[in-house]
Amino acid sequence: MALLKKQPRSKFYELLQAQIHNEFNASQQYIALAVWFDAEDLPQLAKHFYKQSVEERNHGMALVQYMLDTDHHVEIPGTGDVRNDFSDVRELIELALQQEKDVATDIQQLAKAARAEEDYIGEQFTQWFLKEQVEEISQMSTLLNIVKRADGNLFEVENHLHRESVGDGGTDSSMPPVAGGAL
């Protein structure tokens, strides 16, 4: 009996696999930012980025669940390099904003690949992530503006985060299922 030869993955599924790495790496980078803020005795900023880390982890695990649900092999990757050294709060927020913009570009490429392959279910799956990136970029842009306006007074940034609960919208019931359950 001959073994069935597996078909190569489509570009869409290769990009999904790569995006799992990107999401886990973003999660690790956000932990590094949170720890930096913790070390600087900025608890609201630390709390915000610890939550962002969990959110990115959940995004990665939603991609894992989708691949499992569509009967694709999933490889759990290591993460890439994480930056830990910063000299100014603005650097951290600018890094986070750029990271969110990069993820948005990656998700757009996923959506394009699904459409090009006429994978309408895959394209529909990416729509939630596209919407999420609009929100993430907006929130991080706002946080960067607050940091700039505070002009070095980080207690104003802390007060803003405490008062406004930036990025603390709670559980999104429209989020795709997360492998193992969302944290």
Q: Residue positions in the annotated binding site for Fe cation?
A: 23, 56, 59, 100, 133
Q: Are 97 and 144 in contact (CB under 8 A)?
A: yes
Tokens of 58: 């959940």
DSSP assignment of 105-154: HHHHHHHHHHHHTT-HHHHHHHHHHHHHHHHHHHHHHHHHHHHHHHTT-H
- As annotated, the binding site includes 23, 56, 59, 100, 133
Q: Are 18 and 109 in contact (CB under 8 A)?
A: no
d(CA 117, CA 49): 36
d(CA 10, CA 76): 18
Q: Are 141 and 90 in contact (CB under 8 A)?
A: no
